[in-house]
Structure 1
Amino acid sequence: MTTAEGSPRGVARVDVDGRLEHRVVRATLTLRGPDGAPLAGQPVTVRQTRHAFAFGNIGFDFVPLANDETDDAPRAAFGGASPATARTIAELWFDVFNTVTLPFYWAGFEPERGRPDTRRLHRTAQWFVDRGVAVKGHPLVWHTLAPPWLLDLDEGDVEEVVRARITREVGDFGDVIRTWDAINEVVIMPVFEKEENAITELARRLGRVQTVRLAFETARAADPGLTLLLNDFNMSAAYERLVEECLDAGIRIDALGLQSHMHQGYWGEERTLEVLDRFSRFGLPLHLTETTLVSGELMPPEIVDLNDYQVPSWPTTPEGEERQADELERHYRTLLGHPAVQAATYWGLTDDGSWLGAPSGLLRADGTPKPGYEAVRRLVREEWWLSPREVVTDGHGRMVVEGFAGEYEVDVDGTTVPVQLDLTDGRTQEVALLVG
């Protein structure tokens, strides 16, 4: 692109829907050689390497694979493909997602007191980090899947053991996990009656706000630099009140986790935006932590607890797959269009081992992509992605990059220079690059 004399001639620009302009950074890059002189008229290739937005999925499928386990290794709770399937779908996972959620359900992580599955989960987290993926742990505190051995402890001892568990996991995984769901589903926690567990009893004794304080402040004391989420499936005013009460009590919450398991049907843009607007009033980043959309028959609307719907077979269908693809695209466009949303995690890549056996994966059980996978990939890696562009710097060594916030590379005469476009510095930036 050629402009008036003295202005940048090289512009690498992503074409973006106007509703997503708040995601785009315009950066003027000035390239200088080792002597500090501007590299005028220099051919340059610019490419995007990562989104700042957290496009996430669970990594339960890959725990056995990351640990070189055999095909008969046990699957994770709440979803997870067989090791054989995991080997065939890994490339598809990494082609779309940059953030992973790993399972720290306490009953499975430490079925026998004092023998946590630290080594295995740490190897999995490191496996993702080595491949450029940010890792989140889920969750530090939750009443469901609390270890049965907690019930053998005195009431006063449970709190201390919970604190010790939080401190241990935050410390043991601090080099690979910087984000945690500090506590999960607190709205229902003190009144949960489906199964006896010590965490519900603790929440009844302390109350919701103090239980949240326990989780957040214990984790924060162990590592002040963590990002800690309050996460819930309850999108009613009850969750809003809990957030309000926690903030009024001085509890520092870094982001709000909003679950959106849509087994009973797509929320639609109107309801989704209504939820996002209600929770964005707190001024905290919103993370859509658990999203599912099915590609088969919908779960009946009268089911209150999704876990109660147990069927012998829940197949994907061609019609359902087309519906899922359409809804996925609409959902992701809605999320990216809302400035408060910082992350969106889809709950499962494949139907093999999916939560509740639902056809909610982006891949079929045999590992082949559904239209929904292709729809999400097209958005993340094509429409919202700056493919390699060749430009030429102007007489002052300048060029312009307009793209989604994230990480980029500039190739200059055989040298690659990394560039970060960061929305926290404003949507217009000046960046000086020293080449060579």
Structure 2
Amino acid sequence: MSNFSLTVLIEINGVMTKAGSITGTDYKDAVFAYDDSYTAEKNHRPISISLPLSKKPFSAESTRNYFEGLLPEGFTRKSIADSMHSDPDDYISILRELGRECLGAIQIVDESIRTVEADYKELSKKEVKALAKEGASLAANLVIQSHLSLTGASGKTGLYYDEKKKKWYQPVGSAPSNFIVKQSHVRLSNIVVNEQLCLLTAKKLGIDVPESFVVQTGKNKTEDADILFATKRYDRVVTDDSRKVKDLPVPYRLHQEDFAQALGINSSQKYEKNGEHYLKQMFNIIRSYSANPIEDQFKLWRITVFNFLVGNTDNHIKNYSLLYNKDLRTVRLAPCYDVVAARVYKNDINEMSLSINGKLNMDEVTRADFELEAKSCGLGTKPAMKIFDEVHNGLLEALKESAGELEGKGFAQAGDIADKIKRRGVIHHDNSLMPKN
């Protein structure tokens, strides 16, 4: 690719608006600059906290850190690059192919390419079953066919679900999806039920989570190849004035960015390794930009405590996001997502992705470390530790209730997963996590 120009659009109050362009000769020197018409409008807001409104182009590094953060990772990204005969590192070529439907309200458009009309293609039960059975390979193909970009690892795609008719559709062109669908067996055994169990438990403990459910595609609810995990997209909303395609209401796009993007950190550095103190940086972002910083700080703290206690070691900074309203003027902490009790699979999975008082090994973290972390993050120690105790003391009962609900729906493995969380987690009533009398 040489002397390319990609248009960056963002949806504001339902209208796709040109924010700027990405230009360069290849992915190594690609730079983003806001359009003069965008910066001239006093009500317009930046597309990212890390890319404040400016009349000057951003560096190639800053450009890559934000826009590469819109792309899939791992197997899906490699599959897409292979299908394009492209280098997986060439994020610009992949973005050019997939950028019509990203997370949040961003669209990346090559105006030299004919626009594909927005549409929804109904998926048969056989096709949905194949998505569960064939896993990451078919998910990658759907991503390519839909020109749809979702961040994260393999086995994930965006689909449209008609909740009234209980039918699934593949988005085409710039048509928005409204659910993110994941496969189970391509990653870890029973991971779909594991994630649903964790989210149900989190909700019972006062944590805001997106609507989600397990999709049964076969007769056996305990077979990974017969189930999918569906999460309703909180960055897509349907209102009374939503336009329709094939009698399906088309969602408005709400903008979002994960904390790696907001902090200007590349996706490859999403795991804390060298004392970067990501959690403190996240709290600083909330204090500076949230429309309700006090409430959102304690929401983030509650999620942090829960992830630790349930044994979610994949709690990296791309698994936390900020959500904007329709006009981009209000920013709040997004609902909790991508929560899996990783220690269910191995006793020695103990290295977290965010440190607590400088410690990444969860077996070394004590109550005192949480107190010091709260202080370092600018929280009052007393209210922070009250939340800690609420989550700690309520977790086992919430876990038991959630497992019972899933077992009642035929997912017998939920009880075993809950038992493993208890045995392999960090919930012990005789350890240093308990308050001192």
TM-score of the superposition, structure 2-length normalised?
A: 0.29
Q: Which has the larger radius of gyration?
A: 1
Structure scoring higher RCO (CA < 8 A, sep ≥ 6) equals 1
TM-score of the superposition, structure 1-length normalised?
A: 0.29
